[in-house]
């Protein structure tokens, strides 16, 4: 069952449409006799099955505007369609408009420990996967973390992603030729080594993740309070006294993640740290426990 598409936006080169469907879909475009393009989503189950048999990815599709459903055959070479205008469709998962930054702002006084931990673990899993593929995000922050339609976490904005020059699974190599030195990232979340223009590796993302972890468990009442507290955490690695007293394991893990790069755990090592394991146990045992403003 398909639903009409909704336009998110348009530029000179492309447009973004949203649509929900219960079956695999393809898309066709109609530009004849109209000032703007219209997009029609159609059932494309047979096309998808044929493509999968040939090992062709199904999340992208090139379609000619003059072809009908009967004429779109996998065996037709696109190079033979000279004179026709072609369009590239990239089909991606639809996410909510709300980011983790929005969620943090809206949920200052009603954060449940189980939900906060689940969000952090999902972000961590995404970072572990990315690091395992030898990539560094370099700009992890709440505004780059999205919610899928089922409320699961998605890490987005890969515009600054860089392939890691250090050997996979090796110890931090902050002075090895080929490590990154460019100053990239967002103030509160960027690691000290990035900010100073020193060499860094994938553990720069762990620092950013540590700030996000702290922000998940320590609600801020005002923008000014957030700026003051995060500024102190970043400059002096000093966590608020009440945070350390009330959330021992969370504070301990944040402190480990904010250590100098040579002492900082890797993303995959975080799950083996006792503080993380105890956080997980406490979240599951006290699922109704609400994090209150200290």
Domain ranges across the chain: 6-90, 95-291
Kindly report each contact of residues 60-63 with a partner whose C-beta sits within 8 Å and lies 24 or more positions away, as own/partner: 60/88, 60/89, 60/90, 60/91, 61/26, 61/27, 61/88, 61/89, 61/91, 62/86, 62/87, 62/88, 62/89, 63/26, 63/27, 63/28, 63/29, 63/87, 63/89
The predicted structure's pLDDT at residue 111: 86
Q: Tell me the three state secondary structure of residue 45.
A: helix
The predicted structure's pLDDT at residue 43: 54
What sign has the CA pseudo-torsion 61, 64, 70, 74?
negative
The predicted structure's pLDDT at residue 206: 96
The predicted structure's pLDDT at residue 259: 95
Q: Would you tell me which CATH number, out of the four given (3.30.70.1230, 1.25.40.10, 3.20.20.70, 1.10.510.10), belongs to the domain 95-291?
A: 1.10.510.10
The pTM (predicted TM-score) of the whole model is 0.68
Catalytic position from the list 43, 139, 175, 232 = 139
Residues of the chain under the 50 pLDDT cut:
1, 35, 51, 56-72, 75-76, 78-79, 166-185
Asked about 44 being catalytic, the answer comes back as: no
The predicted structure's pLDDT at residue 4: 56
Rounded CA separation 176/14 (Å): 41
Count other C-beta atoms under 10 Å from residue 144's C-beta.
Answer: 22
Tally of CA atoms within 13 A in the half-sphere of 290 that contains its CB: 7
The predicted structure's pLDDT at residue 267: 95
The predicted structure's pLDDT at residue 157: 65
């Amino acid at each position: 069952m398909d639903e009409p598409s909704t336009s998110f936006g348009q530029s000179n080169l492309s447009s973004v449409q949203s649509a929900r469907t219960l079956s695999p879909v393809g898309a066709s475009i109609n530009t004849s006799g109209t000032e703007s393009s219209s997009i029609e989503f159609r059932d494309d189950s047979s096309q998808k099955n044929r493509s999968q048999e040939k090992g062709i990815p199904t999340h992208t599709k090139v379609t000619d505007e003059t072809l009908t459903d009967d004429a779109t055959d996998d065996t037709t070479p696109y190079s033979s369609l000279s004179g026709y205008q072609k369009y590239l469709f990239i089909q991606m998962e639809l996410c909510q408009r709300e980011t983790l930054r929005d969620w943090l702002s809206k949920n200052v006084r009603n954060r449940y420990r189980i939900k906060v931990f689940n969000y952090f673990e999902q972000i961590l899993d995404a970072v572990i996967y990315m690091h395992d593929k030898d990539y560094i995000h370099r700009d992890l922050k709440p505004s780059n973390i999205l919610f899928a339609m089922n409320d699961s976490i998605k890490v987005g904005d890969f515009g600054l992603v860089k392939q890691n020059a250090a050997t996979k699974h090796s110890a931090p190599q902050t002075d090895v030729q080929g490590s990154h030195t460019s100053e990239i990232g967002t103030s509160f979340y960027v690691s000290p080594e990035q900010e100073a223009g020193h060499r860094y590796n994938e553990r720069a993302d762990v620092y950013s993740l540590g700030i996000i972890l702290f922000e998940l468990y320590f609600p801020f009442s005002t923008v000014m309070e957030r700026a003051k507290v995060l500024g102190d955490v970043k400059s002096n690695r000093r966590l608020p006294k009440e945070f350390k007293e009330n959330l021992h394991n969370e504070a301990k893990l944040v402190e480990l993640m904010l250590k100098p790069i040579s002492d900082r755990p890797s993303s995959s090592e975080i799950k083996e740290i006792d503080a993380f394991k105890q956080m997980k146990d406490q979240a599951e045992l006290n699922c109704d426990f609400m994090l209150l403003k200290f």
